[in-house]
A and B are shown apart, each in its own frame.
Chain A
């Protein structure tokens, strides 16, 4: 077992609704009580529907959002409570890759300046910066001429390579990738995913890989966490999860994933209803209004995330 690089305990994020004049008591529970440990060198996939809190979780890990409760332990520091100044120094150890490569690059700056920015912020000398940036651009598969160009001169896939180069500039240990390929064409997705794998080997990176595309997640992840309404409902090795999902939600999610071949006789589980409003969660298990296996206990008691064999499941009646 390798070393734990990041450990999350009881992490939660609430957003309070209401403007200056309303005594708003509505609270959106975007993320609730997450416990996770991420091993050095692994890729942890996080999947779930839109609005299930997976992006919020990713943004909390890199402290773009301040958690409401809980701890994020990284290299002996609690990122959730680290003061701003100390946090800025720590930032070189964890970086983020964004979903939309068109929005993630400042249109007014040259590629070279963009990739060098993190180095500049952390006080690396000019010559050294240029050397590192040019080297990184080569590693991510862009040619040297890119250094002086502007973002609009590149395609989506190339831009995403620039975003990756920027994230790696400070030689981080942990990279949070928030749907890094969902804005790209399928053919480009494969290239970028392979780049992710190559870079992981080369730099010994640890990834938190957020996505909603199940095929993509399986391709890159060692372990996968399935999220539903701000909670982790199942956490398992990628292959175990895909072969034999234990939580009814994971089963439904995976049955929606198209497979090649005619011999696929799996039944498609079609969930009824919508994802519940995170302001008024259902009593008991949050999945109970849509669950095909729902029993009385599900409507009253919320299941804990329990370890069963090699996996963790939050369900009263796991498969």
Chain B
């Protein structure tokens, strides 16, 4: 780091104002990956979001039991989604209110039912954990399926152009004209009972269109670059050109839009479950919990708060991470000149004048 600092001051003295110094430093002696990583780490909202999202994922997946194929574990939380302990009465006459206490200075305590209980005594914490697991799972599956499909279709259209491009893009146009919520409800109506994983797979089949357009555009520009021509003159096959030359240079765009697609996916899943076309009982998802207890909003609002809190947290953090990645990959994006930079630049100017 000391080395970087030294270099920086040298450049500020060269460029007087120091305005270009930061941009220069980012160009010099760093590989693309390092530049992107450094910019991402500097993006405060994205870093906080990444930390929060990882914490939420770890918390949610360890709390309640989780099984996928042969792998699985029982969570550390002592109630499951099907246990029905006795309803606890609270002070103000209501039943099953949350016992989570956060007192400044004293820390916080879980109590018997941190998120309260529902009508018949189910532990709401267990339900919310299970719901958040489902929602996260759906989000990631949609991300993977739509990401793969969008990349492949966009790459083919952009690389081969002509007829291939026309056929694929007209198909995309067709899909885009149908609102995804309607596609989702039709799919949910027919396949909802198959469970969250299959629902996610089907949704993934319809949400890749925006990504495919972006990837197509990226391929159209990159295929005209000289290094692609150079590979062609060398005798490289199309496959080699796509995988070794074009795709690695398009990866930034793909990562960013898949992230943003995922934050849209969690909202889509929630909306569908709320409408009753997404995850259905006996399975649990956050949207389903909200829909099930919407009547109790005035009397027992915590049945509404906690799933909502998790939805907002997950969607928001993924969105911020996507923003951070986009800023990091965008070469035109420059860090704002801070007060400190300006002070340093003027100090150096003075020093030079006095010499």
Contact = CB atoms under 8 A, between A and B. Distances in A.
23 contacts: A20-B166, A64-B229, A88-B237, A89-B235, A96-B229, A96-B233, A98-B230, A100-B226, A104-B226, A104-B227, A104-B229, A106-B244, A106-B248, A106-B249, A108-B248, A109-B244, A117-B231, A117-B236, A118-B235, A121-B235, A152-B30, A152-B31, A152-B32
A122 B231 CA distance: 12
A40 B226 CA distance: 27
Contacts of A91: 233-235
Given A98-B226, A103-B225, A150-B31, A117 B233 contact: no
Interface in A117-131: 117-118, 121-122
A183 to B, nearest CB: 11
Contact of B234 (A98, A100, A107, A121): A121
Contacts, number: 66
A108 B244 CA distance: 9
Contacts of A108: 32, 248-249
Interface in B214-232: 225-227, 229-232
A100 B232 CA distance: 16
Contacts of B30: 152
Contact of A64 (B27, B31, B232): B232
Contacts of A98: 226, 229-230
Contacts of A109: 244, 248
B233 A107 contact: no
Contacts of B32: 107-108, 150, 152
Contacts of B244: 106, 109
A4 B240 CA distance: 34
Nearest to A122: B235
Interface residues of B, number: 23
A206 to B, nearest CB: 16
Contacts of B69: none
A247 interface: no
B29 interface: yes
Nearest to A103: B226
Given A107-B249, A152-B27, A152-B31, A96 B230 contact: yes
B233 A121 contact: no
B25 interface: no
Nearest to B246: A106
A66 to B, nearest CB: 12
Given A105-B230, A152-B31, 16 more contacts: A20-B166, A64-B232, A89-B235, A92-B235, A95-B234, A96-B229, A103-B227, A106-B231, A106-B244, A106-B245, A107-B32, A117-B234, A118-B234, A153-B29, A166-B230, A170-B234
A46 interface: no
A299 to B, nearest CB: 39
Nearest to B236: A121
A62 interface: yes
Given A88-B235, A89-B235, A117-B236, A104 B230 contact: yes
A100 B248 CA distance: 21
B163 to A, nearest CB: 10
Contacts of A20: 166
B248 A121 contact: no
Interface in B153-168: 166
Given A103-B225, A152-B31, A95 B233 contact: yes
A256 to B, nearest CB: 28
Please indicate which of the listed interface residues B30, B32, B225, B234 has the most CB atoms of chain A within 10 Å of its own CB.
B234
Contacts of A152: 27, 30-32
A14 to B, nearest CB: 18
Nearest to B27: A152
Interface string A147-188: 000101100000000010010001000000000000000000
Nearest to A105: B227
Contacts of A107: 32, 249
Contacts of B240: 121
Given A107-B249, A108-B249, A150-B31, A64 B225 contact: no
